[in-house]
Amino acid sequence: MIIEVAPGIKFIRAQSAGFLFCHCLLIDSEIRAVIDTGAGENAFAPIEPSRIDMVINTHYHPDHTAGNHLFPNARVLVHRLEYPPLVDKEARIYYAGAFRLEKFKQPEQKHREKVRDTKPIPARDFRVDGFIADGDVIDFGHTRATVLHAPGHTPGHVAFYFEREGIVFGSDIDLVNFGPWYGDHLSNIDDFEASIRRIIDLKPRIYCCSHRKPIRENIEEKLLTYLGRIQEAEDRIKQHLTEPVTLDGLVGHNIFYKHYNYAYNEFWERNMIEKHLERMLKKNSIMMIDGDRYVLKR
Ligand SMILES: [Zn+2]
């Protein structure tokens, strides 16, 4: 389904809900461009993919890039920091932290309940034709958009600001109830907070993102609630730090995920808790004892 959010700017709803697909944007101007390509082949069929001139990927995650091959005549643009994982498997493994899976195999199995075998999106190498950077204004013809480097979810994650229309496309600053999500090895919590604040400051009239329908009301309040969940998660972790506890001990408390029934959930849970621990160590609000246990400073 395609929703016109402003003249020349269309929201392409993913063909299926969940995190295997994402909502995308079509800029239907002199230059016809899509922002992200994970809506699914059926969702893109009405827009004539062979007539798309430009593909912009907001970041490397497969649910945003899986359909790049559907646009054979498009130039593919990304932020420079997303280039390595798009073109190279080893870089993808590094960005996601998958190289650490082996190390955590034992504890992971300990916390896992029934593991549902979810078929992952096949990640592949893509062609990239050029780079976009913060502050670039992309002139599509009737429509112009400013690139906002909005890291945190991934290092080169970008959002787009359509100033004349008052629209922001925030990609995986996605305002879903679970989020914000920073489970990659190279995700960064402080950057994520700064990126959310930057979007709040733009006061968008319409907020589009990758896993929810376009939002037209109470946008600032919703972004603030989303931002606040980061501190709420940190406070939940703190409640378990009155006595010394290991990272593995914390993973058992389901701080983020209610279940670890998808094979990666526990891995991501661990990554996200570890990022908070690193941040609290830096802020000096906790300390590490015996090399592997964390406790609140009194
Ligand atoms: Zn993502």
Is residue 289 domain-resident? no
Picking from 223, 222, 82, 212, the residue whose alpha carbon sits closest to that of residue 147 is: 82
pLDDT over 50 (residue 50): yes
CATH number at residue 196: 3.60.15.10
Q: Residue 116 has what DSSP assignment? A: B
Q: What is the mean pLDDT of residues 48-71?
A: 96
Q: What is the pLDDT of residue 123?
A: 66
Tell me the β-bridge partners of 168. Answer: 161, 207
Q: What is the pLDDT of residue 58?
A: 98
Is residue 262 domain-resident? no
Q: Are 167 and 5 in contact (CB under 8 A)?
A: yes
Is residue 42 domain-resident? yes
Q: Which helix (H) or strand (E) holds 35?
A: strand 32-35
Is residue 114 domain-resident? yes
Distance 88 CA to ligand 1 centre (A): 17
Is residue 278 domain-resident? no
Side-chain-side CA neighbours of residue 154 (13 Å): 29
Q: For residue range 206-229, list pLDDT tens digits in order.
A: 999 999 999 999 999 999 999 999
Number of domains in the chain: 1
Distance 232 CA to ligand 1 centre (A): 21
Q: For residue range 135-178, list pLDDT tens digits in order.
A: 999 999 999 999 999 999 999 999 999 999 999 999 999 999 99
Provide the phi-psi class of 30: left if phi over 0, else alpha when psi is between -120 and 50, else beta.
Answer: alpha
Q: What is the mean pLDDT of residues 291-296?
A: 96
Q: What is the pLDDT of residue 121?
A: 59
- Backbone CA torsion sign across 268, 188, 221, 16: negative
Distance 72 CA to ligand 1 centre (A): 23
Q: Helices in the chain by DSSP H: which ranges?
A: 41-44, 62-65, 83-87, 89-96, 105-111, 189-201, 219-239, 247-251, 265-283
Distance 19 CA to ligand 1 centre (A): 9
Q: For residue range 223-276, list pLDDT tens digits in order.
A: 999 999 999 999 999 999 999 999 999 998 999 998 877 778 888 999 999 999
Rg (CA), the chain: 20
Distance 61 CA to ligand 1 centre (A): 5
pLDDT over 90 (residue 111): no
- Mean pLDDT of the chain, nearest integer: 92
**Intra-chain end-to-end CA distance of the chain, in Å:** 55
- What are the structure tokens assigned to 3, written together? 């929703």
Q: How far apart are CA 124 and CA 116, in angstroms?
A: 23
Picking from 203, 132, 133, 211, the residue whose alpha carbon sits closest to that of residue 168 is: 203
Is residue 241 domain-resident? no
Is residue 296 domain-resident? no
Distance 184 CA to ligand 1 centre (A): 9
Distance 147 CA to ligand 1 centre (A): 17
pLDDT over 50 (residue 106): no
Q: Which domain holds residue 102?
A: 2-236
Distance 146 CA to ligand 1 centre (A): 20
Is residue 298 domain-resident? no
Distance 62 CA to ligand 1 centre (A): 8
